[in-house]
Amino acid sequence: MKRSELEQAFADTPLFAGKTWVVSPEAFPLDEEKLTTIRELGPALAEFHLAVERLYRRATEGRRILRNGDLEAGWVQDYLDRGKPEQLLAHGRHNSLKNDLPAVIRPDLLLTEEGFCLTEIDAVPGGIGLTGFLNDLYRQNGGIVESEDQIPEAFFRAVTGGVDAYENPFIALVVSDEAETYRPEMEWLASRLQRKGRRVFVFHPDEIMVLGETVCASLDGNPQKIDILYRFWELFDLPTFPWADDLLLAVEAGAITVTPPIKHYQEEKLSLGLLHHPKLKAYWEESLSKKVRRLLYRVVPETWIVDPAPVSANAFLHAPTVGGLPISSWDELGEGSQKERTLILKMSGYHETAWGARSVVLGSDVSRENWKTALRSAMRDGEKNLHVLQRFQKPNRIRHPVYSSSDEAKEMDGRVRLCPFFFRDGQGGYQLEGILATVCPADKKIIHGMSEATLLPVRKSDTKEEEL
């Protein structure tokens, strides 16, 4: 596509508030083998979410977590509940939410020499509207989408459960101040569905109210009963909303559907640490199919939970090693060599710094003193907000054409993060409907949306060599 066409399209439909990025004439290519692996991730992550919930519920009830074993895991409950208000915890355990999964699941994938590296699973993902827009914009340029408005239609099916539970449900997309940057893309999503007569509207939390037992939104000055509320806000925002308590009660009474469900254990990065925890190996063998286990262990990097609780003198932490030896204190990790510090440290969840790469520290990219400071801060925070460590896998260098200062596209040397969007299909499954590729300049260590990056949909390539 021509630069002028792209810039005009983005000018006509701004998707992010106050954000710009580099434009590219082509969608990002992936071969069929990689696309097949990505498609398998949606159902696998849904299965993992359900297994985490079973683990959590058994832990909170003091039950054995194994069918044929005496293993209990109260420490899992402690990790997932730490620092959260009691009403949120009670709601997450309520039977009305049992096995309720997010309408949309979006993992973050890095493309590395070893294959895909899954760094986190986002239950409140940004980029849905942007990816839908890019799918449509690049569709005639080899995108993987099959039809116009593929993502808006998939989104509607996902939030309504794929069945005609309502003749025409009133759907409120509630975007918090914290997520204000993403409001334009949610408005684009709502507008595409409104063109088909769907009652889907974007609201600020201040426009939500509770009248009696009914949760309503103010539309043109009139209160409208909400059937489905899509929350575009993080759980740490919940206590700031005056209607929060009433919303939780309405969900528990079946008066309204909220998705993603308000379940704190679905939004902690430390779940990936539980996947790798040796004490839970037997649980995952019982709870995940062999195919899913193999896939997750292949794509999820080693992940550890930074628990500040001390261990006895003759015990070791489940943690990275230093000098080839296990450690008994997180302080010891601060003495590691630069190679041993090739680790990502980040907040697990329920905190304003736990999203958007705000808390991310790459140990090998900072001085030893700064790394020690970050570890000490994580240990202090750990009384209320746990951190996780992940083995850092450097993304591959790729080349992709972009427009810079002229109308002629030039190859950019970069690295890519892929965000596939899986939508609930109404039959208990999750389908891939689009992939957002973020290509950053190769000198950037942490890949995220930035003005120097290009944001693209993904297309199927004809050959593997096309990706090199």
Grouping H, G, I as helix, E, B as strand and the rest as coil, residue 110 is: strand
Answer with the residue of higher pLDDT: 441 or 105: 105
Q: What is the pLDDT at residue 161?
A: 84
Statement: residue 438 has pLDDT above 70: yes
Quick check: is 306 in a domain?
Answer: yes
Residues 258-289 have pLDDT tens digits of: 999 999 999 999 999 999 999 999 999 999 99
Quick check: is 194 in a domain?
Answer: no
Query: What is the Cα–Cα distance from 370 to 440, expressed in whole angstroms?
Result: 25
Statement: residue 446 has pLDDT above 50: yes
Q: What is the pLDDT at residue 468?
A: 44
Which pTM does this prediction carry? 0.94
CB proximity list for 1: less than 8 A, separation 6 or greater:
25, 26, 137, 138, 141
Residues 360-384 have pLDDT tens digits of: 899 999 999 999 999 999 999 998 9
Quick check: is 339 in a domain?
Answer: yes
Quick check: is 342 in a domain?
Answer: yes
Query: What is the Cα–Cα distance from 379 to 459, expressed in whole angstroms?
Result: 43
Residues 93-147 have pLDDT tens digits of: 999 999 999 999 999 999 998 899 999 999 899 999 999 999 999 876 555 566 6
Quick check: is 116 in a domain?
Answer: no
Answer with the residue of higher pLDDT: 356 or 349: 349
Quick check: is 347 in a domain?
Answer: yes
Quick check: is 44 in a domain?
Answer: no
Quick check: is 365 in a domain?
Answer: yes
How many domains, in total, are found in the chain? Answer: 1
CB proximity list for 399: less than 8 A, separation 6 or greater:
411, 412, 413, 414, 468
Q: What is the pLDDT at residue 447?
A: 67
Statement: residue 163 has pLDDT above 60: no
The overall average pLDDT reported for the chain is: 91
Mean pLDDT within 327-343: 93
Structural domain span for residue 362? 302-391
- Cis previous bond, 242, omega within 30: no
Q: What is the pLDDT at residue 146?
A: 64
How far are the Cα atoms of 23, 225, 307 from residue 75, in angstroms, in the given order?
47, 41, 11
Statement: residue 254 has pLDDT above 90: yes
Q: What is the pLDDT at residue 467?
A: 47
Statement: residue 82 has pLDDT above 60: yes
Confidence of residue 426 (pLDDT cuts 50, 70, 90): confident
Answer with the residue of higher pLDDT: 235 or 464: 235
